[in-house]
């Protein structure tokens, strides 16, 4: 049986190991002491009862995640329905809403008397309808999100109170960086996940008992070497590859780099091909602060607005200089509350996970891919 090294024990590595287990002699290398990558379940005590809380991977749906769904079905992973409701809380303007139903849109009843709030809802509805046609427009390919919003004349409230909070939460990225995000990628993601309306979302599911359940089932038969960082991967002229760690260099017939792009590129080193450098070198990452807590003060004041995801904007920050943006958009359309911001992921019965203020450098937008 040919040998296969898999570098990384996240879902990519574990999934590959599971589906290839009958075809290769497998060895999985993990640099850290944790198996599962983005999947991380923390057990906390609640009134003497252990409660599993996921702080990484949390939800999936059967439409957008067909391979993961098939894997869970094969493993017999217990799952249960959940929700992906979303709320926005703009504290300087004292605006709150939750986009689940008409009742929760007006969870803050004063919104019934705000003409600006009705205009916001109309712009959201127009954006949803026009986005489907925009996806077929070849001109969309080169547009950043800020430029797309400007051309559509959706307005500052639409950007500040809806689109940037939503996208910033989804990608765990500061709102000022989302202005540079490729519009085509964002619209396609919204379409694939059913985000273009109150009643278009796919049903969401979560792993019952914590996502570590599927990691446990996936790792019962695989050889996983923890705390063994791979230092280099080298192609052999005679075929196969060498995988070098601090203690040994081992030959394998094949290797799967199931790790982050910068790590994969570093492992290939000088032997990386121009195409590998182009693809792996294009990825950017964002550092975020995360805190697990039970504080209700970060939640919307209107209890009806409490959602699975709760995005809060606090005191407005100074606008970004024009040189920080790739488009020629006027300053007035930029979010006035670039930071501090936070997104609280609420767990039912008082269990919450807060992603807190976002740490990020404010550089120029990356070039569109």
Tokens (6 digits) for 98 = 């939750």
pLDDT tens-place string over residues 199-253 = 778 899 999 999 999 999 998 666 899 999 999 999 999 999 999 999 999 999 9
pLDDT value of residue 360: 30
- What are the Cα distances from residue 305, in Å, to 14, 208, 275? 38, 25, 47
157, 159, 163, 167 alpha-carbon torsion, rounded to 10°:
-140
Strand order in the sheet with 86-90: 95-98, 86-90, 309-313, 341-347, 351-354, 291-293
Query: Is a pLDDT exceeding 70 seen at residue 318?
Result: no
Read off the pTM.
Answer: 0.80
Query: Mean pLDDT, to the nearest integer, of 170-198?
Result: 90
Neighbours of 210 (CB within 10 A): 21
Q: Cβ distance 205 to 167 under 8 Å?
A: no
pLDDT tens-place string over residues 39-84 = 999 998 888 999 999 988 999 999 999 999 999 999 999 999 998 8
CA dist 256 and 15 (Å) reads 11
Query: Is a pLDDT exceeding 90 seen at residue 131?
Result: yes
CA dist 324 and 365 (Å) reads 7
pLDDT value of residue 322: 28
C-alpha 168: how far from chain center = 9
Query: Mean pLDDT, to the nearest integer, of 141-159?
Result: 95
Range of weakest confidence among 32-41, 62-71, 140-149, 329-338: 329-338
Q: How confident is the model at residue 290 (pLDDT cuts 50, 70, 90)?
A: confident
Choose between 286 and 217: higher pLDDT: 217
pLDDT value of residue 220: 66
Which burial class, exposed, middle or buried, applies to 78 when counting CB atoms under 10 A from its CB (0-12, 13-18, 19+)? exposed
- What are the Cα distances from residue 251, in Å, to 26, 114, 241, 365? 12, 68, 6, 41
């Amino acid at each position: 049986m040919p040998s296969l090294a898999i570098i990384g024990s996240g879902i990519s590595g574990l999934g590959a190991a599971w589906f290839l287990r009958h075809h290769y002699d497998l060895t999985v290398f993990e640099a850290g002491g944790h198996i599962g990558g983005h999947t991380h379940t923390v057990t906390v005590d609640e009134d003497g009862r252990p409660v599993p809380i996921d702080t990484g991977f949390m939800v999936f749906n059967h439409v957008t995640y067909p391979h993961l769904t098939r894997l869970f079905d094969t493993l017999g992973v217990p799952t249960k329905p959940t929700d992906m409701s979303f709320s926005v809380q703009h504290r300087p303007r004292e605006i709150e809403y939750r986009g689940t139903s008409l009742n929760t849109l007006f969870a803050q009843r004063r919104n019934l008397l705000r003409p600006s709030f009705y205009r916001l809802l109309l712009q959201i509805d127009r954006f949803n309808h026009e986005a489907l046609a925009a996806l077929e427009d070849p001109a969309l390919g080169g547009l950043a999100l800020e430029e797309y919003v400007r051309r559509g004349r959706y307005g500052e409230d639409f950007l500040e109170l809806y689109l940037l909070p939503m996208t910033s939460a989804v990608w765990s990225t500061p709102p000022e960086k989302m202005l540079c995000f490729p519009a085509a990628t964002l619209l396609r993601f919204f379409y694939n996940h059913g985000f273009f309306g109150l009643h278009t979302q796919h049903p969401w599911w979560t792993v019952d008992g914590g996502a570590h359940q599927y990691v446990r089932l996936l790792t019962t038969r695989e050889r996983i070497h923890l705390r063994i960082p791979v230092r280099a991967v080298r192609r052999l002229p005679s075929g196969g590859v060498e995988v070098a760690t601090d203690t040994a260099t081992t030959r394998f017939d094949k290797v799967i780099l199931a790790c982050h792009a910068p790590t994969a590129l570093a492992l290939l080193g000088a032997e990386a091909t121009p195409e590998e450098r182009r693809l792996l070198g294009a990825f950017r990452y964002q550092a975020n602060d995360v805190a697990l807590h039970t504080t209700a003060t970060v939640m919307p004041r209107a209890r009806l607005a409490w959602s699975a995801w709760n995005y809060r904007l606090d005191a407005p920050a100074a606008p970004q200089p024009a040189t920080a943006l790739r488009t020629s958009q006027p300053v007035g359309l930029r979010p006035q509350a670039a930071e501090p911001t936070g997104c609280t992921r609420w767990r039912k019965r008082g269990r919450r996970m807060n992603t807190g203020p976002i740490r990020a450098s404010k550089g120029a937008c990356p070039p569109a891919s």
